Amino acid sequence: MTPDRTPVKLILDTDPGGDDIFALFWIQSLVKQGFADLVAVTTAEGNVPAEYTFNAACQILDLGDLENVPVGRGVDVPFKQFSDASHIHGPDGMGNLSRTLPEIGQSFADAPFSDELLIEKLEEQPGAITIVAIAPLNNLAAAEAKKPGILTLAREIIIMGGAFQIQGNVTPCAEFNIAFNPQAAERVFDSRNDLVIFPLDVTRQLVFTRNIMEQIVQVNPQGQLTQFMKELAEFLTQSSLQYRETKGEYGFLVHDALTLAYLFYPETLRFSRARVSIETKGEFTKGQTLIDWRHSPKETANAWVAVDVDVPGFFTCLLEDLKTLVGITID
């Protein structure tokens, strides 16, 4: 007998972005299996400009038959430190594949801003919704600035961002999601004391290989979702090789998906309690995330930081759920 289960209520804060899309595919599978309830998607400016992240999220939701999920448009970011990462993800955020998908019915101009959507949903269900933040923290910081304390209404906030004992990916010491808007990150990290953080230290171990993709394709070789996933994986692989992200291994990094392993497959992870600080002023270190590892009394900790991942276990779970997704959506 299958025990009753209550789906985990999620808001995904995202800036699609290829690895964001694979995280969204995983959520779609978990929704269809009854494990997750996607309350809203709040898109953010980051990997590409806000209009493109909005369009990409809507197209991927439509592709997975989740077109009724509310989608917010990213707040304005006047003082961002970097332009975007379109050189990695393509100008549309999805490897120039947006043209292969139907046009969306939603209007970017008419969509609610993401900070307003966050506030609305958290106030409707205080303590019930987990925020999975896999983008620069523009939207969360804007919501907190507009309504101080609003982020404490989330059940949990899970963040992909930072680099501690490893080099950064946009500067020698800073990771993109934090460095894009360090002031926003600082506001969010100051908002509560139980953030869950997934830094590059662990996500750089997660190379999604051609072999994994081939196993997914075998389930439904001709499906539209399968074909899109395969073409996106190939684009991201070529981009990753060009920018030397995978040490020559044929694949791409699925940084953002690790946030979901915490919620649904926690046995694959190990954490350390820590006080995380954000450097917001340094000429060469702006956007760096810092932990004082010395054995001396600290300020109150504000986060659980992932320090280890069971890589084979993680990919076993991701693979089977993506196989389930493409099997469910046979055309």
Return the active site residues.
Answer: 255
Name the residue among 186, 157, 171 with its Cα closest to residue 263.
157
Contacts of 165 (CB under 8 A, 6+ apart): 201
> Facing residues of 77 across strands?
none
Q: For the chain, how many residues are written?
A: 331
Residue 197 and residue 305: Cα distance in Å, rounded?
Answer: 5
Contacts of 271 (CB under 8 A, 6+ apart): 196, 304, 305, 306, 307
Longest CA–CA separation in the chain, Å: 59
Burial of 192 by CB count in 10 Å (0-12 exposed, 13-18 middle, 19+ buried)?
Answer: middle
Helices (H) and strands (E) in the chain, counts: 12, 12
Residue 295 and residue 291: Cα distance in Å, rounded?
Answer: 12
Cis, bond preceding 17 (omega within 30 deg of 0): yes
Pairing label, strands 207-209, 251-253: antiparallel
Residue 183 C-beta-side C-alpha neighbours within 13 Å:
8
Q: DSSP string covering 297-318, please?
A: --SPP-EEEEEEE-HHHHHHHH
Q: Cα-atom radius of gyration of the chain, to the nearest Å? A: 18
Which helix (H) or strand (E) element contains residue 235?
A: helix 224-242
Contacts of 245 (CB under 8 A, 6+ apart): 169, 252, 253
